[in-house]
Amino acid sequence: MLDMPPLPSFAAVVVAAGKGLRAGQSTPKQFANWRGKPVVRHSVEALLGAGASPVVVAIPDDDDEAARLALAGLDGIELVTGGETRQASVAKALEQLSASSCQNVLIHDAARPNLPREVIARLLAALADHPGAIPVLPVVDSLALDHDGLMAGAADRESLRRVQTPQAFRFTDILAAHRRWSGDPSAGDDAQVLRAAGGAVALVAGDEKLAKLTYAEDFMTALPPIRTGMGYDVHRLAAGEELWLGGIRIEHDLGLAGHSDADVGLHALVDAILGAIGAGDIGSHFPPSDSQWKGASSDRFLTHAASLAREAGYGIGNVDLTLICEAPKIGPHRDAMRARIAELLGVDITLVSVKATTTERLGFAGRGEGIAAQAIATLIRE
Q: Which domain range does residue 26 map to?
A: 11-220
The CATH number covering residue 143 comes to: 3.90.550.10
Is 143 in the same domain as 277?
Answer: no
What's the pLDDT at 25?
58
Mean pLDDT (whole number) for 185-211:
90
- Asked whether residue 186 falls in the same domain as residue 49, the answer is yes
> Which pLDDT band, with edges at 50, 70 and 90, does 63 fall under?
confident
The answer, yes or no, to whether residue 141 has pLDDT greater than 70, is yes
pLDDT band at 360 (very low <50, low <70, confident <90, very high): very high
Report, as an integer, the average pLDDT of 317-324.
98
Mean pLDDT of the chain: 91
Percent of the chain with pLDDT over 70: 94
Which range (1-5, 47-51, 154-158) has the least confidence?
A: 1-5
Residues 210, 165 contacting (CB under 8 angstroms): yes
Report whether pLDDT(62) > 90: no
Q: How much is the pLDDT for 2?
A: 41
**Phi, psi torsion values for 210, nearest 5 degrees:** -80, 25
Query: Are 333 and 316 found together in one domain?
Result: yes
Cis peptide before 332 (omega within 30 of 0): no
Q: CATH number, domain at 259?
A: 3.30.1330.50
CA angle 338–224–267, rounded 5-degree value: 30
User: Residue type at 86?
Assistant: R
- Residue 3 resides in a domain: no
